[in-house]
Amino acid sequence: MLQRCRVTEPDPAMAAVPAPESDLAPIEQLPLRVQIADRLRRLIITGRLRPGAVLVETALSEQLNVSRAPIREAVQILENDGLVETIAYKGKRVKPLTAREVAETYELRELFEVMAVRRILEYGTDVAALWPPCRAMERAAAAGDREALVAADETFHRTLIRLADHHLLLASWNSLYLRIHQIMALRNDRKVPLSHIAANHPPIVHALEARDVDRAVQLIAEHTRSLNDFDPASIVEPPA
């Protein structure tokens, strides 16, 4: 159930006592449709709502304890994202992946990440920020936590793109990564060893730290290609 936030007036007697900085995070008042879209998007890109799954307004309305109108608006947002599609006479469903879409997604990913690696090395950018997500992946792999590993992997690659300091590249990456995250989650659900996925990342950082352009480009290219190896038809939700 969605929680509502109640904001009370501050006590004037307390005005002279500043709260700790960590307690002063802005309160976000997001429209209900955006909150619902965010929740459904997370379910889709983590593979919990699988390709082909039908999105029934009445069922979602009951589960989230909201009216059907914001559900309909949220689903439209996801359709604009390319994660949901309309089927004539049947309604909305999570858009199935095709082999071509998977291949094209990873082709673009390789181009983006190779570009990022080259820019990082060209400008001598510090890559220390890549180590925390590497360690997080190792911990997730040791714990057998696939969802945590996918999240840490996303952090690694988003950080790599951010370190390239190219605004249009980052904006394009943010759009593409919705599909990348979904594909990774579904692929990892095929029992790919988590330790293998985690182990692929530290060598990339070592090559960047060594300023070895050829090695870094080779590793990042091989890493992106290695993920394009499953049949999208195998993870479609069977019709009800």
240 residues of the chain, pLDDT tens digit each: 434 444 344 444 444 444 444 556 565 678 999 999 999 998 998 888 989 999 999 999 999 999 999 999 999 999 998 899 999 888 999 998 888 888 888 889 999 999 999 999 999 999 999 999 999 999 999 999 888 888 899 899 999 999 999 999 999 998 888 888 888 777 765 567 889 889 999 999 999 999 999 999 999 999 887 755 666 666 555 555
Report DSSP letters for 30-90, one per residue: --HHHHHHHHHHHHHHTTSS-TT-EE-HHHHHHHHTS-HHHHHHHHHHHHHHTSEEEETTT
CATH 1.10.10.10 fits 30-94, yes or no: yes
Q: Which residues pair with residue 93 across a beta bridge? A: 54, 85
Q: Which of 129, 235, 221, 134 is nearest to 192 (CA)?
A: 235
Separation in Å, CA 135 to CA 9, 172, 224: 43, 27, 20
The tokens for 183 are 């594909």
Q: Where are the domains of the chain?
A: 30-94, 99-230
Q: Is 119 exposed, middle or buried (0-12, 13-18, 19+ CB in 10 A)?
A: middle
Residue environment code for 145-183, b if the CB has 16+ CB neighbours within 10 A, otherwise e: ebebbbbbbbbbbebbbebbebeebeeebeebbbbbbbb
Q: Which CATH architecture has domain 99-230?
A: Up-down Bundle (1.20)
